């Protein structure tokens, strides 16, 4: 850590990352090893989840936010709004978010969202 000019001191735990102290060097290396171990565990779990999903025939769909995608009819959203249903009711009926309903209606252009 000192090679880039950073020194970590935790006074209540007696931790100091100063390089001249062999115990602090050991502690820094142990903490780095634990962090790497955690990263590798997360990677393994994500890979196992993806393999399990593929085995069950699940497809990975992503929206622009990175969340899993959901298929719905945009025309149905517009049609429901034309029947004077509220945005919240449309979202609940189709089981999509209110923001998604608003975006669909704004994209349609011919339906007011207010």
pLDDT in tens, 7-16: 777 788 777 7
Sign of CA dihedral 64, 69, 73, 78: negative
Helix residue ranges, H only, 7-114: 22-55, 74-82, 87-94, 98-108
For residue 6, what pLDDT is reported?
77
pTM of full prediction above 0.75: no
How many Å apart are CA 73 and CA 81, to the nearest integer? 13
For residue 28, what pLDDT is reported?
80
**What is the average pLDDT score of the chain?**
82
Name the CATH architecture for the domain at 61-114: Orthogonal Bundle (1.10)
Distances (CA, A) of 73 to 11, 39, 45, 97, 109: 59, 39, 34, 13, 16
Give strand pairing partners of 15: 10
Structural domain boundaries of the chain?
2-55, 61-114
């Amino acid at each position: 850590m000192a090679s880039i000019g950073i020194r970590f001191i935790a006074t209540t735990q007696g931790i100091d990352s100063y390089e001249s102290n062999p115990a602090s060097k050991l502690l820094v290396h142990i903490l780095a090893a634990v962090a790497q171990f955690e990263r590798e565990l997360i990677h393994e779990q994500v890979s196992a989840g993806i393999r399990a999903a593929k085995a069950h025939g699940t497809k990975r769909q992503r929206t622009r936010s990175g969340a899993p995608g959901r298929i719905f009819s945009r025309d149905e959203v517009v049609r429901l709004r034309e029947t004077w249903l509220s945005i919240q009711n449309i979202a609940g009926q189709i089981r999509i978010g209110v923001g998604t309903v608003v975006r669909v209606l704004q994209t349609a252009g011919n339906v007011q969202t207010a």
